[in-house]
């Protein structure tokens, strides 16, 4: 199989979860709180993708280099999912209100951890 075709398959596999979320949103199949469902979905896929990217180097050391070649492509997809997750949080939960965001950071420290994790993506 050609490398170009494999790259197309990897990119398509990265886009499919987002396309499914968009399809379910358009069809009204996301339940009573669709924004929360989409936010949790983008966060879950960002975490899954991050774990996959982090496994690329150990798999390469074990002799399986297939995943290693697509680290950058997968990393960009993970960044997109994480950014969508962050933007949805800012819109849905805090409504772009800075004082409310500070209150959320005090009440829920995992929000700060998530923001810090997203900020670590920026230089990459």
pLDDT at 105 exceeding the cut of 90:
no
- What would the mean pLDDT of 84-100 be, rounded to a whole number? 94
Is the pLDDT reported for residue 88 higher than 90? Answer: yes
Q: Residue 36's closest CA among 88, 96, 98?
A: 88
Identify the pLDDT of residue 3. 85
Lookup: tokens for 54: 């982090």
Rounded to whole angstroms, the Cα distance separating 16 from 103 reads 35
Cβ-based neighbours of 6, under 8 Å, separated by 6 or more: 70
Residues of the chain above pLDDT 90, percent: 85
- Note the pLDDT of residue 113: 92
Q: Helix, strand or coil for residue 30? A: coil
Structural domain harbouring 92: 3-121
Selection from 55, 52, 39, 56 nearest residue 114 by Cα: 39
> According to the model, what pLDDT value does residue 70 have?
93
What pLDDT is stored for residue 65 in this prediction?
87
The structural domain count of the chain equals 1
What mean pLDDT is predicted for residues 38-46?
95
At residue 24, does pLDDT exceed 90?
Answer: yes
């Amino acid at each position: 199989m050609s490398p170009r075709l494999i790259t197309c398959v990897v990119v398509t596999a990265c886009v499919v979860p987002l396309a499914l979320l968009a399809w379910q949103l358009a069809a009204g199949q996301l339940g009573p709180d669709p924004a929360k469902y989409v936010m949790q979905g983008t966060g879950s896929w960002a975490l899954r993708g991050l774990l996959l990217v982090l496994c690329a180097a150990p798999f390469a050391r074990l002799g399986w280099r297939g995943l290693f070649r697509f680290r950058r492509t997968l990393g960009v997809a993970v960044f997109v999912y994480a950014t969508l997750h962050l933007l949805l949080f800012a819109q849905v939960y805090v409504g772009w209100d800075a004082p409310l965001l500070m209150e959320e950071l005090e009440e829920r420290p995992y929000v700060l951890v998530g923001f810090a994790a997203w900020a670590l993506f920026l230089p990459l």
